[in-house]
Chain A
Amino acid sequence: MKKLTKCIKFNLLFFVLFYANTSIANILISHEGDSIFYDESNNHYVIKYVGINGQINEVIWTPPTNITVEVEAKYKSLKDGRIKYEYEIEVDEDSKQSLVAFQFYTSFTDDFYTNKPIDWKEIIRGSYDKTKTGKWINWYTTSSPVTAGNKIEGFEVKIMALPVYSNIYVEGDTEILAFQDYGPSLEVQEYFQEKVVLKDFNGKSIYTSVPLIPISEPFHPISTYTSFHDYLLKYIEKKYVDSSISMSLIDASTAVLTALTANEVNSALTKLRAVKKLVEGEDGNHKNKNDDSEKAKPLIIKELRNILKFNIKFITKKLKELSGEKY
Chain B
Amino acid sequence: MATKKMALIATKGTLDMAYPPFILASTAAALGWDVQIFFTFYGLQLLRKSLDSIKISPLANPAMPMPVPMPVFVQMLPGMESMATMMMKDKMKKKGVASLQELRDICLESDVKFVACQMTVDLFDFQNSEFIDGIEYGGAATFMKFAGESDVCLFI
| A, B co-complexed | no
